[in-house]
Amino acid sequence: PEKKVFDLTFKRTTLAPDGFTRSLITINGQYPGPVLEAKKGDRIVINVRNEIGEPTAIHSHGMFQRGTPWFDGVTGQSQCLIPNNYTFTYDFTVPDQAGTYWYHSHAFTQYVDGAVGGLIIYDPDDPYLNEYDEEIIVVLSDYHHTESEILLKKFLSPESEVPDNGLINGKNSFNCKKAPKGSKCVDNAGLAKFEFVPNKRYRLRIINTSAFSAFFFSIDKHEMEVIEVEGTYTKRNKIHRLPINVAQRYSVIVTANQPVDNYIMRSEFQKDCLPDGGKKLSIVKAIVHYEGAPENSAPINVPWKDFLEQCIDLRHETLRPLSEERPPKATKELELTIAFHNDSSGVVKAFLNGSSYVPDLTFPTLSRVFAGEANHFPRDRNVHVFNTPGEVVDITFINTDEGDHPFHLHGHQFWVLGFGNGTHVDKKSLNTVDPIKRDTSTIPASGWIVLRFVPDNPGVFGIHCHMIC
């Protein structure tokens, strides 16, 4: 194992990823931030220099933080905010995990303003190591021309918000006619370009860093084989389109086996979940350029439906872990109901079992545990206490909201035992034999999900909807 040191400076600057100039949080001058790369077993040291102009904290999404829960990066929960003009060092090892992850600010709504980057943990024992020649990292995102603070207000009001655009690896073009008068905007900012060498096999690591948006990801004329979900190897799964929700990650193998040419990589908004049906949004595109193909010719434009009888989307039901591991029996059950309603001051908020978690910025929850408060959290704080070893927990979410909610569990993965519509959990339909294990899963609109996890990682860890913060 090695010690990998990363120096990251978070700073607000103006940038125009899609041609429209706005203020963004950059990391070492970049958006998205640099990809952090390490391998299983390494020690990762991240020196976060905060020059944003406001306090921050950085979370490594999907890292278990075994033995270092204080480096989970959640404000008011695992640490105090890092003040402006201070440096804070995260220092943790990754003894038992490898796969596709990301890091992002976990303070306020800063990640939506750009404070995101990929985090890849390579696996020397990767069972698929001989099945691909190169790796490509694909960071998807919805993109907003408005500051996230304003978005958050809209998100919590009946108005709702539709993104202005979407990006692949921080690039896309935008039609400036749609920009408000007086804004700085240039057309044809350009698309991301990926180089394919004929017959090479690529492992694409796809990360959705969006604030709100789920996408369908595909490459024209190319099949993909899913092999990894958030640190879990899967059985080979041939598909054409990959649905990917906020904060989720997948690895797929794509072979450059088509005629030498330019092809379109697509990230389509899953529009039905956007308030106005996302009418003004077009497909987010990038170029796959085969070595030897003309550099500047338009890529052939062939949606799946034009040359395939049927397009196979990834379905949860067909996702199977590569090594079958039967989850242990649950010893505890927790039911959480998601509902949106007005709080006492008339602001619409999301509630779990009638309460909203309030980060304690002056006395983080983890510090309270160290101070001996673990067993008397106020009931309305929504803190649940589990004991290790021995406990296995089934969390059933009942979503009374009309929107999907991508939920993420910190410090652990969970098995997705099953989900469905309505409020009645169909226990007989649960898969307790070979369910997939991941860290971010969609709770269907007006529906339910059952997640099982083993609380074997002492600390304070959040479970939350990943939309906008």
Which residues of the shown chain bind ligand C2O in the complex (CB under 6 A)? Answer: 59, 61, 104, 106, 247, 408, 410, 462, 464, 466
Whats the size of the chain, residue-wise? Answer: 469
Q: Decide whether 289 or 466 has the Cβ nearer to ligand C2O.
A: 466
244/442 Cα distance (integer angstroms)? 10
**Spatial CA neighbour of 442 closest among 199, 188, 247, 186:** 247
Q: Decide whether 107 or 168 has the Cβ nearer to ligand C2O.
A: 107
Q: Decide whether 118 or 278 has the Cβ nearer to ligand C2O.
A: 118
Q: Decide whether 107 or 287 has the Cβ nearer to ligand C2O.
A: 107
As measured in angstroms, the least distance from the Cβ of 59 to ligand C2O is 5
As measured in angstroms, the least distance from the Cβ of 247 to ligand C2O is 5
As measured in angstroms, the least distance from the Cβ of 114 to ligand C2O is 15
- Sign, CA torsion 451/44/118/126: negative
Using Cβ positions, the residue closest to ligand C2O within the complex turns out to be: 61
31/113 Cα distance (integer angstroms)? 10
203, β-bridge pairs? 135, 253
Q: Decide whether 121 or 287 has the Cβ nearer to ligand C2O.
A: 121
What does the DSSP 8-state code read for residue 185? B
As measured in angstroms, the least distance from the Cβ of 242 to ligand C2O is 19
> Taking the CA atoms of the chain, what radius of gyration do you get in angstroms?
22
As measured in angstroms, the least distance from the Cβ of 437 to ligand C2O is 17
152 three-class SS: helix
Q: Decide whether 137 or 425 has the Cβ nearer to ligand C2O.
A: 137
As measured in angstroms, the least distance from the Cβ of 135 to ligand C2O is 22
As measured in angstroms, the least distance from the Cβ of 243 to ligand C2O is 19
99/94 Cα distance (integer angstroms)? 11
Per the CB < 8 A criterion, the answer to whether 412 and 455 are in contact is yes
Q: Decide whether 171 or 464 has the Cβ nearer to ligand C2O.
A: 464
Structure tokens at 138: 């694909």
Whole-angstrom CA distances from 100 to 203, 231, 250, 293, 408 are 11, 6, 7, 30, 15
Q: Decide whether 40 or 59 has the Cβ nearer to ligand C2O.
A: 59
As a whole number of Å, the end-to-end CA separation of the chain is 33
Reading phi first (left if > 0) and then psi (alpha if -120 to 50, else beta), residue 346 is in left
Which residue reads 């020649």 in tokens?
133
6/145 Cα distance (integer angstroms)? 29
As measured in angstroms, the least distance from the Cβ of 62 to ligand C2O is 8
As measured in angstroms, the least distance from the Cβ of 460 to ligand C2O is 12
What does the DSSP 8-state code read for residue 448? E
Q: Decide whether 20 or 461 has the Cβ nearer to ligand C2O.
A: 461
What does the DSSP 8-state code read for residue 295? S
36 three-class SS: strand
283 three-class SS: coil
